[in-house]
Amino acid sequence: MISTTEKKILEAALLLFSQRGYDAVATKEIAHQAGVSEMTLFRHFACKRNLFESMFETYIFTPQFKVLFEQQMEENLERDLIKICHCYQENLWKNQKIIMMQFRNQDFMSISDAPLLRFPSELKRLLLDYLSKMKEKGYFIADAEKWAVNILAYNFGLFMLCLVNKQLLSGTEIDNYIADYAQQLSVRSQCPIASGSRTTMEEN
């Protein structure tokens, strides 16, 4: 649980990093934006890098995906995949400036536990857990790890492709790609008998 002071500092960091990038923002500016002293900032986060990583993990991905997997899954593979893909895309686009900032900053990309590199591993774990549970219930018979990686690669690839050329796809087209992808994956990875049983259960 973060304190009120930490929340103010993290929100200030998110605002300034998003607007100007990591290198251009000084801790003194973040402290001023948060209404605290720079000493207070260092007491809570020790250094600028720790502050950035805490901000990334607090606001960028972790909360939304935990809520999604813990509270919003329906045990319907196609519908759940659409939700997962949409959540991933929404977070990527919402935080595109911070994501691209990490690509440009070698300090973040040169270590194996950089926030942007660490997140796919965390999301893969959530996907594996979900797919494994679906497999136990007979709604999924494919290789869970293979498809978890496939889901990550497809979504990040779609994001990067559109980011490079924003005229390539509209928001509606992205939605259509996600729907088609979820349907194809569902068909390819479900047991016909389990799928039919599920449909019967839903109709009843």
User: What average pLDDT values come out for the chain (204 residues) when binned by 10 residues?
Assistant: 91 87 91 97 94 82 81 94 93 80 64 64 90 91 92 91 77 87 87 42 39
Q: Tell me, which fold does domain 61-203 have in CATH?
A: Tetracycline Repressor; domain 2 (1.10.357)
Q: Just give the CATH number of 4-56.
A: 1.10.10.60
Q: Where in the chain is the domain with CATH 1.10.357?
A: 61-203
In the chain, CATH 1.10.10.60 sits at 4-56
pTM of the complete model: 0.72
Report how far Cα 36 is from the mean position of its chain's Cα atoms: 30
Residue 57's nearest CA partner among 133, 6, 132 is 6
Which is nearest to 40 in space by CA: 63, 69, 67, 10? 10
